[in-house]
Amino acid sequence: MIRAARNIVATYRDAFGGLPAITWLLCFAAFVNRCGSMVLPLLSLYLLAKFGYTAGEAGEVVAFYGMGAVFGSVLGGKLADRLGCVRVQIVTLAGAGCWMFLMAQITAAWLLAPATFVLGVINDAFRPGSITAVATSVGPELRRKALSLNRLMMNAGWAVGPTVGGNLVEHFDYSVMFWADGGTCLLAAAFLFVFLRGFTPRTATPSDGDASKAIAAAAHLRGPFRDLHFLWLMFVNFVVITAFMQYFTTGTRVLKQDYGYPESTIFWLIAINPLLITLTEMPIVHTLRRHAALPIVALGSLVIGAGFLLYLLPLGATGVILALAVITIGEVLQMALLGSYINDYAPERRRGAYNGAYGMSFSLALVAAPAVGGWLYDGAGARVLWTCCAIAGLLGAIGFLASHRKRREHHSLGPT
């Protein structure tokens, strides 16, 4: 027992060790920002409470956020390459904070949709700069670990933000969520300005090994939207993420209507995801550090699909908890490894653009997931919804494996 405990401690120590201080500072800024994540998760309830929107009308407004996020991801990626990844983070965080302060003053309902669209643009323009800065703060041999730490920090912040936001609006009113969320954006911007405004990205050298070779092999590409290998990966990712997002979009309706759970119980069930990521992602990624990324990404997609099948078991709350746990492990395998693969693969001077296009696949899924899931659930029921999610996971696994095989065959032919 003592030996097992020591092994676990050693695994965690090795998983978190070796990263430079600048990586921790960059990830901490992302954590501070995410700790204030209240507006998006509470926006639908705000629209219902203050403006009397129906659930459908509120969903349409929230969809404007997703559409704005699509543009923001692409814009943020391009700006990160041209202006610098930290500089873009500072500007977008400050802009998002000020914009949320303005949104707190809105009294005309017709302003909500365009204001939410703009918020999506500014908020998601931050993400490519954050990922690119973390990816370039270390050498390729530590990139998986660094990006996993960034994801961990964001998920830890996400676990805090909605919880605090729910308590704030319960004791005060919904306008306070704009002030709190905007305030943490400004705090994160100030932190970056004070400690990291002079950040210089690390450049690849011949000693960086196989990962730098992957970068060099992709350097002839003119951009992510002309890169067929990358576009295929983003399409497959979109399919899987649209299914994955059902656990916190349509899935909450299923837990409410089919299982009869109150909102408080649903919140704690949803919190399983960020808590498990915080506990497991770094050790898992560290253990898999010597394995090729795309086969693990494919396995993660398959595990996500299997997790949704567990919803079909007649186990009540136990089945739901088990399903959410398995889906989360699949998320760690797919998203952590795919993000590191994209940053290894992307040309050095276009890494921000690639991260922006990568983020766009998530933003598009955020638009599609509520609509597709709601349509399936309303028309055919939860069992069909979960089955379709499982099929999406299987198709994703096939798609990622096919991409890995084709990429390996391409390299075996040598340069053309």
Q: Which of the pair, 407 or 405, is modelled with greater confidence?
A: 405
Q: Contact, 361 vs 205, CB < 8 A?
A: no
Has residue 219 got a pLDDT over 50? no
254 and 400 within one domain: yes
Q: Are 212 and 260 contained in the same domain?
A: yes
Question: Which of 172, 202, 232 is a domain's end point?
Answer: 202
How much is the average pLDDT of 386-393? 96
Confirm if 218 and 204 have CB atoms less than 8 A apart.
Answer: no
Assess whether pLDDT exceeds 70 at residue 410: no
Q: Render pLDDT for 121-160 as a digit per residue (tens, 0 to 9).
A: 999 999 999 999 999 999 888 898 999 899 889 888 877 8
Same domain (yes/no): 149, 213: no
Nearest residue to 273 (alpha-carbon basis) of 287, 253, 252, 291: 252
Are 240 and 179 found together in one domain?
no
Same-domain pairing of 232 and 135: no
What tokens does 200 get?
């210089």
Q: Per the domain annotation, does 359 fall within a domain?
A: yes
Check whether 116 has a pLDDT greater than 90: yes
Is residue 6 included in any domain, yes or no? Answer: no
Same structural domain, 302 and 276: yes
pLDDT band at 204 (very low <50, low <70, confident <90, very high): low
The two structure tokens encoding residue 72: 């923001």
Could you tell me if residue 253 is inside a domain? yes
Task: Report pTM.
Answer: 0.82
Give yes or no: residues 281 and 361 share one domain: yes
| Shared-domain flag, residues 127 and 253 | no
351 in any annotated domain: yes
Q: 170 and 249 in one domain?
A: no
Angle of helix 21-35 relative to helix 112-135, nearest 10 degrees? Answer: 160
Place of tokens 């990263």: 19
SS3 130: helix
Residues 49 and 151 grouped into a single domain:
yes
Q: What is the mean pLDDT of residues 289-316?
A: 93
Give the model's pLDDT for residue 39: 86
- Domain match, 324 and 307 both: yes
Domain count along the chain: 2
In this structure, how many other beta carbons lie within 10 angstroms of the beta carbon of residue 203? 10
Residue 168 shares a structural domain with residue 196: yes
In which band, very low, low, confident or very high, does the pLDDT at 414 lie, cut at 50, 70 and 90? very low
Q: Tell me if 153 is assigned to some domain.
A: yes
Q: Do residues 206 and 198 make contact, with C-beta atoms less than 8 angstroms apart?
A: no
Q: Please, are residues 30 and 130 in contact by the beta-carbon 8 Å criterion?
A: yes
Q: Is residue 212, in this structure, part of any structural domain at all? A: yes
What's the CATH number where 164 sits?
1.20.1250.20
Kindly state whether residue 271 falls inside one of the protein's structural domains: yes
Per-residue pLDDT at 411:
57
**Do the domain assignments include residue 10?**
no
Please say which residue of 151, 185, 202 terminates a domain: 202
What is the pLDDT, as a whole number, of residue 213? 47
- pLDDT tens by residue, 103-112: 999 988 889 9
Instruction: Supply the range of the domain harboring residue 231.
Output: 206-411
Q: What is the pLDDT of residue 162?
A: 72
Q: Chain-wide mean pLDDT for the chain?
A: 85
